[in-house]
Structure 1
Amino acid sequence: MKGSGMGLGNAGNGTILTIHTDERSAPVERNFRLSKKTYSLWGYMANHLQEYLNPLYNPQDSPDVLVPNLLPQNIKFWRGMYCRFESGVHPREPQMDLLLATSDYVFSLDEHVKYLSKRISSVKSFISRTVEKKRNKSVKKQLCNNVFLDNKMHYEQGTKQLEAVNGDHPLNVEGESNVGKADDALDVDVIKKEIDSVAIDWKQARNAKECSCSLTLDQLSKKMHCRKCGMIFCQRCITKKVALPGHVSQIPVPVCKPCFDSIAKPEV
């Protein structure tokens, strides 16, 4: 493809093949073998015609000649290109970044809601089993009282002997209750950590001016949210992914380095 006053240029990668006028003479094809080193722009476009067609265009909708609409309100300004160095007094958040952040936020909340529903179901099941055990225990105790009602003295003596024998036994009821309480306390701590591992409120991107690494966040900087703390960082500060305990699917999500260290290396 010819350039304006410069020579022949490669349309594929924009490199200049010839510069001087003498090089564009008749022996150019023989000396430079352009037909083998480069290709025709029109041939390339003909082979990739599907990439240049509008899939939403329907010729039946506009059988006549297309008349362009030149109303000023229909002209779209490429703000990301021409105003990339201008933040303005009232900066606006790019719609594409807002949509991506909203999609990630909804996904994180949906995963957390599913986790909470699963936890609530497990707590309900645990409470039901506990109530059922207490109910069965009271029924058994009532049956025992009815059986030994006529021989109360022998029953009390047998009970005292049983308590004396099992008082220091490692499998007594009191020991089991203490173990159960410890397990319940441990479960509560684990549940609290899992709930706190997901950020409910994310910081708005329009209010983010600077990353924690002192990098200025402008209109062209990619702003990423940490799924655990909800703060905004630059792209190079969020390079780690980890599965949050508060997500039911356990899919690795982007987190900042401090949050990654707190999850990957929990405090003992």
Structure 2
Amino acid sequence: MGWSDRGVEIKTPEQIAVMRTAGLVVGRTLETLRGAVRPGITTGELDAIAEDSIRSAGAVPSFKGYSHPPFPASICASVNDEVVHGIPGDRVLAEGDVISIDCGAIVDGWHGDAATTVAVGEVPADVRELMRVTEESLWHGIAAARLGGRVTDISHAVETYVRSQPHPDGGEWGILEDYVGHGIGSAMHQPPNVPNYGRPGRGPKLVRGLALAVEPMVVLGDNDTVLLPDDWTVGTADGRWAAHFEHTFTLTPDGAWVLTALDGGEQRLRELGVPFGGS
């Protein structure tokens, strides 16, 4: 079965360059939002900051109006036990909360997508460890990608890292299975899916021009989720807290290039001992 039959979109170097422009808009917006998170700010105020940042850069928010029912905001803002797709609004952040912020931007029809989880002041040690494990698993997943490899090489690396880290309660981290990473390009969500668990060596080949959004979602408790009445927000069924980190990346002959990281991912990839493929 060929690439076109699978619906996997292969980009030209010129199209990847535009995606890098969109990725930088996303990366800079998330950096601005990390600096804006504080006790007393509302998730709606963060959304307004994000939309201004995206539009001021000449881009368009990927999320606003997306899907059915249409998503009403420019970011997803998921607090504490909310995992993903939280709708920004009147909720006031308090000391000790965590907020996962997912952001997308479109430049000339091409998308960038990334997410980060931010502590609001001081948070409990187990939550801080949850955030660290989730973010590190993202980088280990990207670091496992090689031209000629397979999509689930990334999945396996994410899961392997998470499972290797001791849980503060002596139990196991929960890795979401119903929500996964994805291909990205001229649409925000494209084939192939990129799960955060599973055996390596499966799925489409990793080839030049393929762009993927890798996004581990890890929880302190069980990985069962519930959809809240707004038909968007996904929360944990047991009420335990969650973290979510995401980057869009591609592979070049020189290595991985993280399109939504301000430095292209160079520092973290070199720390993990893998080649950096950006420019």
Q: Normalising by structure 1, report the TM-score.
A: 0.21
Structure with the higher fraction of residues in strand conformation: 2
The structure, 1 or 2, with the larger RCO (C-alpha pairs under 8 Å, 6+ apart) is 2
Structure with the higher fraction of residues in helix conformation: 1
Q: Normalising by structure 2, report the TM-score.
A: 0.20
